[in-house]
């Protein structure tokens, strides 16, 4: 039987304190997205998270990845996500990336950080398939991460679901200010809403407009500096764009979710 090409998914994982709460809209939507993804019967999941960076593009290779609690919500510290790993697939990915000219390596001990296990535990609550992570590279070069996505395209035809986890907007200082002041979690600042809308237009242009990869011009946007004081949460989206048929060629994109948590965008996209 011919293996179908699996989509690429980008999710804004938001803040742990909210996304893990059953009444949170992003929590609910990730569970719904999971129903759609499980119906595709992926053979493995490769996750690129904003919370894992290394000097080289590194691939986790432990057979039983631990649940890493790299977040401040103490009530979650006892949570464990019983994921499986796949050392052979990790080696195959590193070999593929090395042949493609990337500086890459096996990471034999790394588990799953909260940018991976929180959304994946909602989408795949009883994981029966291997889950691996690929790190960001610590130089945080946008073009390099876009090209990483392009290199990962081949695995979409091999039963691998690529899940990229970050945030279309992510200003942690502004989040904490609003959260600690008791502000409305659903309130959205102009800079966050504006940058989220611009990104969506680059990925899903209005009717009768040509789809382009102008998203790579993100540093010139008036709200970019506020939306991303640091770039690590934006890079997984660039990986997703790169993995979507060289970043838009013959790809169709659906916005699966629109949401904000104290101006952290939890937008999610499906790249077919």
The bridge status of strand 268-271 relative to strand 264-265 is unpaired
Whole-angstrom distance, CA of residue 87 vs CA of residue 93: 10
| 64-120 pLDDT, tens digit each | 999 999 999 999 999 999 999 999 999 999 999 999 999 999 999 999 999 999 999
| 8-state DSSP, 127 | -
pLDDT of residue 249: 52
State the residue for tokens 């904003």: 50
pLDDT of residue 4: 86
Task: Tell me how crowded residue 35 is: count the other CB atoms within 10 A of its CB.
Answer: 9
Tell me the CATH number for domain 8-271: 3.40.830.10
pLDDT of residue 188: 96
Residues in the chain with pLDDT < 70?
1-2, 206-213, 246-251
As given in the structure block, the two tokens for residue 170 are 């992510």
Which of these, 118, 107, 109, lies nearest to 64 by C-alpha position? 109
Total residues found in the chain within this entry: 272
| 8 A C-beta contact, residue 7 and residue 126 | no
pLDDT of residue 214: 84
Whole-angstrom distance, CA of residue 201 vs CA of residue 71: 31
């Amino acid at each position: 039987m011919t293996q179908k090409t699996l989509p690429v998914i980008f999710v804004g994982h938001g803040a742990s304190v909210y996304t893990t709460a059953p009444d949170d809209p992003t929590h609910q939507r990730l569970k719904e997205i999971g129903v759609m993804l499980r119906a595709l019967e992926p053979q493995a999941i490769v996750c690129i998270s904003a919370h894992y960076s290394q000097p080289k593009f590194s691939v986790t290779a432990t057979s039983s990845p631990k649940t890493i609690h790299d977040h401040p919500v103490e009530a979650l510290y006892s949570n464990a996500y019983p994921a499986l790993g796949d050392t052979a697939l990790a080696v195959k990915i590193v070999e593929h990336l090395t042949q493609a000219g990337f500086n890459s390596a096996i990471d034999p001990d790394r588990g799953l950080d909260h940018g991976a296990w929180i959304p994946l535990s909602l989408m795949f609550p009883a994981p029966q398939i291997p889950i691996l992570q690929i790190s960001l590279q610590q130089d945080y070069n946008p073009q390099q991460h876009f090209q990483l996505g392009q290199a990962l395209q081949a695995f979409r035809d091999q039963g691998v679901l690529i899940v990229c986890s970050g945030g279309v907007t992510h200003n942690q200082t502004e989040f904490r200010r609003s959260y600690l002041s008791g502000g409305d979690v659903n309130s959205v600042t102009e800079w966050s809403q504006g940058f989220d809308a611009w990104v969506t237009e680059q990925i899903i242009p209005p009717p009768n407009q040509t789809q382009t990869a102008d998203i790579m011009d993100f540093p010139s946007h008036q709200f970019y500096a506020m939306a991303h004081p640091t770039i690590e949460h934006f890079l997984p989206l660039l990986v997703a764009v790169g993995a979507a048929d060289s970043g838009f060629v013959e790809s169709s994109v659906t916005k699966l979710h629109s949401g904000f948590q104290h101006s952290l965008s939890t937008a999610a996209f499906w790249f077919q």
